[in-house]
Amino acid sequence: MSASYPPSARSENHPTDSLVRRILHCDLDCFYAQVHMRDDPTLRGKPVVVGGSPTGRGVVAAASYEARAFGIRSAMPAAQAVRLCPDTIFLKSDFSRYREESSHVFDIFHRFTDVVQPASLDEAYLDLTDDLVPYRSATHVAQEIRRMVLRERGLTLSIGVAPNRLVAKIASDYHKPDGLTVVRPHQVLDFLEPLSVRRVHGVGPATAERLGRLGVETIGDLRRLDPETLTARFGRHGRGLHDYARGIDDRPVRTQRERKSLGHERTYSRDLRTLAEMDEQIEWLSQRVAHGLEKRELVARTITVKVRYGDFTTLTRSKTLAEPPMTADHIASLGRALLRQTDAGDRSVRLLGVTASGLDRDAMVQLELFDRP
């Protein structure tokens, strides 16, 4: 399911699209339960709870959407969950399994940008503002991420696309599960207007109760509340609430991960059958890889070509050099040579990929920095 929030004429306090950030909030749907249901198809369509035993003092860590339909929620006592739905299937948590799966999904996020901030094992913020050159739009990236996670990991996730973290987080929950909601800058106020004030970052049950005594039930109510009243009741937190109610959130997406590789791949709507077609695609992919390396002031010593044949057989071929390739032409030349180490041309190809690894800072840039007086 996907949606772009209906357009609005309102543009109060919002810059033009070209000046705003492009933020994605990616949230895997009922992650723990979904991993088990993917690996055991007999669980699909059934109420599944991951967590402690209902015969003891266990609690619900995650619940499938079928279980949620009975009112079962995370952090609920497992004994209460079984009373709500006696047919619930209870499974033990397996966090090593979830961490491994999370790592695979985050690797997909990093194919599009280095600016990835994990919020938990199953959700992350991505800032695409400076990484949109190879792509049509942030919406297109969100669609590609959903497609790749489903195809490669067999999992669904919901994504919100917005000009800041606050709105992206709210948007990702707007059409769950397996949803995509895009909120453009001029749509932010109308999007937030009818939503419960509990959707606002930092508004828990106690704060919501205090706001309720002021007649605030929706984000629109909060936006119309006098800012001095908010500050008097909530101090500095009140000023933040007033900004959030107007869709203003300057919190950056922070990351500390060091990139180990940079690559791009493409799945084709029809299989490629000739080497000429494949060479053209290798060149296009190599240009994107070279652009990413140049933008990050990196060089790579290893180039890898990934090939998936029409029957879904997948293989890779790599070449490591003493001197790193510096240009798109050099990468493409290596890519074409590696392609010829496969059966491509004799067999049709449905996917091609080019990846650069063994990354290091560009020596040319280092010399310029260190030699400057």
User: Annotated catalytic sites, by residue?
Assistant: 123
List all residues 6 or more positions away from 321 whose beta carbon is below 8 Å from its beta carbon: 301, 302, 303, 334
Beta bridge partners of 127: 23
How big is the CA angle at 159 (ends 92 and 14), to the nearest 5 degrees?
140
Burial label, 256 (beta-carbon count in 10 A; 0-12, 13-18, 19+) = exposed
Q: Tell me the two tokens of residue 168.
A: 């992206």
Q: Rounded to an integer, what distance in angstroms lies between the CA atom of residue 68 and that of residue 49? A: 9
Question: Treating both helix axes as pointing N-terminal to C-terminal, what angle do 31-39 and 95-109 enclose, rounded to 10 degrees?
Answer: 100
- How far apart CA 295 and CA 297 sit, in angstroms, is 6
Alpha carbon 288 to its chain centroid, in Å, reads 20
Sign of CA dihedral 182, 117, 146, 260: positive
d(CA 243, CA 248) in angstroms, rounded, equals: 5
Q: Which residues pair with 180 in a beta bridge?
A: 2, 159
Backbone angles phi, psi at 41, to 5 degrees: -55, -20
